[in-house]
Amino acid sequence: MPSILDHDTVALDESAHALVIIDQTLLPGEIKLLHLTKQNEIWEAIKALRVRGAPAIGVAAAIGLYLAAREIEADDRAGFLKKLHGAADYLNSARPTAVNLSWALARMERAAAQSGAETPEKVREALRRECLAIWEEDIDVCRRLGENGLTLVKPGFGLLTHCNAGQLATVRYGTATAPMYLGHARGYGFRVYCDETRPLLQGARLTSFELSSAGIDTTLICDNMAASVMKKGLIDAVFVGCDRVAANGDAANKIGTLGVAILAKHFGIPFYVVAPSSTIDMNTPTGADIVIEERDGGEICEMWYERRMAPEGIKTWNPAFDVTEHDLVSAIVTEYGVARAPYDVSLREIFAKKEAARK
Ligand code: MRU
């Protein structure tokens, strides 16, 4: 039977000139692929979380910008690059917290600017190659995150994760889930506990769906049960993804992650953030400098319920992310190795390795 894992989360359909995504708002009930060609459709898909998760948003935006470039009319290279910048700004405005969005768009713009191509046609070709490179690299990076994350665990471990940092948040394999998939393939026999992740239920709708589809022993819990499973001794390590790591190791991730980290510290459980280098933002000094997206209160009061579950007119506060301070983070797993405190030093070393690998 075809599984959710048979589909890439994000892809470019070159013949239809379309961004292809799985509409994640319909999961797990329906697996529907969307073919998006217009910029406002791509912006809306990112904003409405049809495509979501930091790396997947970056890849989707890169493909989106290539599609925008196909439509740009300009007489010369300078005019073309100016319009390309406008298109990148538009896509970047869809969501503020995940740095992968601006990272991917900036990388695309750099590829266009540095291509040396004389004509808009040739710049477009450079952009096509770059978005495909970003797509391919995402797969390779997630594989390496899996290998590096696996060095931190033992067979039979109970693992807890929050939100969805899985295949559905990347092109394939996921970040926090990459060691789970890899360990599963190698017979590690993990037991994975997924927080449901209020209010948008990424843990319930997405993580528990994709992990159980892969045959991993998966247990879904409500967010407020994390302390109890930890107290019972069922959790040996926590693995979460991340939307932006600041230069000092503070990490913004789905709202509720901070609470899980505080609990993990209380119970003496290692708390690992799995982050591709594209999620590490050395230009953001600390977590206090990270812009936290605030979303509509309807997500708390109405969404996913058959009928409204809060009084009409009630005040709401709905931040989509929180920041876990670096002293609660046992290690940050990257594709270039495992970084530990002091993070201002170890993250710089990770980027030095990345630079060396490029040469
Ligand atoms: O609002 P979302 O669903 O995009 O939030 C996603 C998360 O918080 C993920 O944990 C994060 O992006 C890492 S994905 C590998």
Ligand 1 binding pocket mutation candidate from 142, 163, 200, 238 (most atoms within 8 A of CB): 163
**Nearest Cα to 169, choosing from 26, 56, 245?**
56
Contact between 257 and 351 under an 8 Å Cβ cutoff? The reply is no
Protein residue with least CA distance to atom 6, ligand 1: 53
pTM over 0.95: yes
Q: Measure 158 CA to ligand 1 centroid, in angstroms.
A: 22
Contact between 236 and 180 under an 8 Å Cβ cutoff? The reply is no
The per-residue b/e assignment along 18-46, b for 16 or more CB within 10 angstroms, e otherwise, is bbbbbbbbebeeeeeebebeebebbbebb
pLDDT band at 115 (very low <50, low <70, confident <90, very high): confident
Residues recognised as catalytic: 243
Chain segment 254-299, per-residue pLDDT in tens: 999 999 999 999 999 999 999 999 999 999 999 999 999 999 999 9
What integer best gives the mean pLDDT of the chain? 97
Contact between 194 and 219 under an 8 Å Cβ cutoff? The reply is yes
3-class DSSP assignment, residue 245: strand
Q: Measure 253 CA to ligand 1 centroid, in angstroms.
A: 6
Alpha-carbon span 23 to 33, nearest angstrom: 6
Chain segment 334-355, per-residue pLDDT in tens: 999 999 999 999 999 999 999 9
3-class DSSP assignment, residue 338: strand
**Nearest Cα to 180, choosing from 204, 203, 205, 150?**
150
**Is there an atom of ligand 1 within 6 Å of 101 CB?**
no
Contact between 3 and 213 under an 8 Å Cβ cutoff? The reply is yes
Alpha-carbon span 77 to 246, nearest angstrom: 35
Give the DSSP H/E element, type plus range, for residue 69.
Answer: helix 54-71
Protein residue with least CA distance to atom 15, ligand 1: 165
